[in-house]
Chains A and B, each alone.
Chain A
Amino acid sequence: MLNEERVILMTQMASYEGGEGRKNVKIGNYFRSDYIAVQVLKSVVSGTIAFGIIFALYILYDFEVFMQDLYKIDLLAFAKNVLTNYAISIVAYGLLTYIISTYRYVKAKKSLKSYYHSLKKLSSLYGDESVKKKSAGGSK
């Protein structure tokens, strides 16, 4: 026999698993610190690539002047300046990633908690049904 409450619960859970839940389950597989570390690491890599692209465009923009002044400028000071800018941008981007990923992890965990609660409820519904079946079989 169809159990209407169980069908509704299973439909809600299937919809969650197919949509937002898939992402949240992935997040939930990590420990909090691991998830945040992976996200920050990804940000450092992508931030480095983005900084490299912007720096390359900056050099290309003034390429002729840069080549002319290459032997005149203090290369060490120039490198120090570039590295300082890089460090500031990466730290700022990493910090932003840290805040966003912490927020997302907490949100995903909260959402998964409610999902696991639904799973428990579903399991208890199955349990109730099997008890009913057994008692019906016994009375025969």
Chain B
Amino acid sequence: MTGLLEIRERIKMLYSRYEVFILPIVKFLFALIVLNTLNGKIGYMKRLDNIAIVLIVSLMCSFLPKGCMVIFAALFSLLHMYALSMEVALVGLCMFLVMFLLFFRFSPKDSVLALLTPLLFAMKIPYVIPIAAGLLCSPASAVSVGCGVAAHYFFQTVIVSAPALGTMGDSEAIAKLRLIIDGIVKNKEMLVVIAAYGITIVVVYLIRRMSLDHVWTIAMVAGAMTNIVILLVGDLVYDINISIGGALLGSLLALAVAKVIEFFRFCVDYSRTEKVQFEDDEYYYYVKAVPKMTVSAPAKTVKRINTQRHRGSERGVTTELTPKRAQERAQSRSGGSSGARRTRGDYRGGKSVTVGNMDPDVENMGNDDYEELF
């Protein structure tokens, strides 16, 4: 465990030191994966399915705000749908507009979840998202996740209907429209999944806010169970053929991912929990303090080894005072006041270990011959 905690501290240190570079790189990679997945799934517009365009847009996303990534992804999908059929693009545009107007107004920060949800569906690990959102975000993120689920099922409808749409002529515009709208509105699986994910997020959030030991673990297990139960009930009621084995395996994977999230966000030591009680003029306070598990990342110390200046045939190790320390000692002997308090910089002139070697060639080496890292 200590080793893992050390690794965590190093990762945190690395991130805080290079955040300026890491964040745009992560955004760039995320945009690249999202746009490539979109091109792979619904790449009907061949001109858009071009790595140069994807790279340029991803590069733009790397320095633009996160919300722009959602807009670019929506534009990409609409253009692909337009290449398939104008009616599909029209339905897509209406759907995205309703989402932007009604839902993203309230949780613009979580809009990335609407992008992440279809991506995780495409990667076959969608069960991670409700548990992770419940652990890390507020219950309002259920709206963004719901929008993401709707977008995923909309893309699925487009992919399934694409061959039929291809055979329909221009005169059958209304029939095309009806095919797509039916695919969304009458999709019971989508409604069950939206309900399951929404309730799971709220359950996980409510449990993780409780004052219990191992509350994050309890929250994630309860969330996974809630999700499976709602999906099973939905499957029984609407006969929607949800893969139970897939749901169980996916939930286990989601739990593993949630444990990793817990390690980085909520690693506490319950064995050292303290309960204190105090009061002021207005309140009684019952406080439960749980210490975080932390170790400091091992610091590197540099030991400087210098060559010895005096002559002799054998190799010896002596200690000597460096000029700064010698000067300081001389000052203190003469009754100077400089020895009262030393700043950190003054400690540079400390005691050094000198390794002597009488080989004349070696003698000509400079003071800082080599540095040893411990």
Interface residues in chain A, defined as those with a beta carbon under 8 Å from any beta carbon in chain B: 42-43, 46-47, 49-50, 53-54, 56-57, 60-61, 63-64, 93, 100
- List the 4 closest A-B pairs by CB distance, nearest first: A46-B101, A50-B101, A50-B98, A53-B94
Whole-angstrom distance from the CB of B83 to the nearest CB of chain A? 21
Partner of A57, one of B94, B101, B106: B94
Does B178 sit within 8 A of A, measured CB to CB?
yes
| Chain B residues with CB below 8 A from A43, complex form | 105
Residues of A within 8 A of B97 (CB): 49-50, 53
Q: How far is the CA of A29 from the CA of B91 in the complex (A)?
A: 40
Residues A54 and B102 in contact, CB atoms below 8 Å apart: no
- Cα–Cα, bound, A63→B87 (Å): 14
Which residue in chain A gives the minimum CB-CB distance to B106?
A: A100
Chain B residues near A (Cβ < 8 Å): 91, 94, 97-98, 101-102, 105-106, 174, 177-178, 181
A46/B102 contact (C-beta < 8 A), A57-B181, A60-B174, A60-B177 known: yes
A96–chain B nearest beta-carbon distance, Å = 9
Which residue of the partner chain A has the closest CB to B100? A46
Taking the closest CB of chain B, its distance from the CB of A101, in whole angstroms, is: 9
| A73, B140: Cα distance in complex, Å | 42
Residue on A with the closest CB to B93?
A: A53
Given A53-B97, A57-B177; 10 other pairs, CB 8 A cutoff: A46-B101, A47-B101, A49-B97, A50-B98, A50-B101, A50-B102, A54-B98, A57-B94, A61-B174, A61-B178
Give CA–CA (A63, B177) in the complex, Å.
Answer: 11
Bound: A57/B97 CA distance, A: 13
Cβ of B181 and Cβ of A61 under 8 Å apart? Answer: yes
Taking the closest CB of chain A, its distance from the CB of B169, in whole angstroms, is 16
B158 to chain A, nearest CB (A): 16
Docked CA distance A47–B178 (Å): 24
Highest count of chain A CB atoms <10 Å: which of B91, B97, B102: B102
Most buried by B among A56, A57, A63: A57
Please determine whether A57 and B91 come into contact, CB atoms closer than 8 angstroms.
yes
In the bound complex, how far is the Cα of B103 from the Cα of A93, in angstroms?
11
Contact A47 B102 (CB under 8 A): yes
CA distance A100 to B140 in the complex (A): 10
- Measured between C-beta atoms, what is the minimum distance from B107 to chain A in Å? 10
Query: A49 contacts which chain B residues (CB < 8 A)?
Result: 97, 101
**B346 → chain A, closest Cβ, in Å?**
18
Residue of A nearest to B94 (CB): A53
Question: Would you give the shortest CB distance from A52 to chain B, in whole angstroms?
Answer: 10
Complex Cα gap A56–B90 (Å): 11
Nearest A residue (CB) for B185: A61
How far is it, in angstroms, between the C-alpha of A50 and the C-alpha of B104 when the chains are bound? Answer: 13
Q: Which A residues are CB-close (under 8 A) to B98?
A: 50, 53-54
Residues of A within 8 A of B177 (CB): 57, 60-61
20 contacts between A and B (CB under 8 A): A42-B105, A43-B105, A46-B101, A46-B102, A46-B105, A50-B98, A50-B101, A50-B102, A53-B98, A54-B94, A54-B98, A57-B91, A57-B177, A57-B181, A61-B174, A61-B178, A61-B181, A63-B174, A64-B174, A100-B106
Chain A residue nearest to B107 (CB atoms) is: A100
**Interchain CA distance A49-B101 in the complex, whole Å:** 8
User: What is the CA–CA distance of A50 and B91 in the complex, to the nearest angstrom?
Assistant: 13
A-side contacts of B101, CB under 8 Å? 46-47, 49-50
- Return chain B residues, CB-CB under 8 Å to A60: 174, 177
Point out the residues of chain A lying under 8 angstroms from B181, CB to CB. Answer: 57, 61
Measured CB to CB, the closest approach of chain B to A98, in angstroms, equals: 12
Compute how far the CA of A95 lies from the CA of B177 in the bound complex, rounded to whole angstroms.
33
Question: Across the interface, which residues of B come within 8 angstroms of A50, CB to CB?
Answer: 97-98, 101-102
Tell me the complex Cα distance, A36–B317, Å.
78
**Chain B residue at minimal CB-CB distance from A20:** B109
Q: Please measure, in the bound complex, the distance between the C-alpha atom of A57 and the C-alpha atom of B180, giving whole angstroms.
A: 11
Q: How far is the CB of B181 from chain A (nearest CB, A)?
A: 5
Which chain B residues lie closer than 8 Å to A47 at the CB level? 101-102
Q: Which residues of chain B have C-beta atoms less than 8 A from A53's C-beta? A: 94, 97-98
Q: Which residue of B lies closest to A60 (CB)?
A: B177
How many Å from the CB of A69 to the closest CB on chain B? 15
- B106 partner residues in chain A, CB cutoff 8 A: 100
The closest CB in chain A to the CB of B175 belongs to A64
CA distance A61 to B185 in the complex (A): 12
Please name all residues of chain B whose beta carbon is closer than 8 Å to the beta carbon of A57 when the two chains form the complex: 91, 94, 177, 181
In the complex the two chains form, what is the Cα distance from A57 to B181 in whole Å? Answer: 9
* Cβ–Cβ < 8 Å partners of B174 in chain A: 60-61, 63-64
| A57 to B178 Cα, complex, angstroms | 9
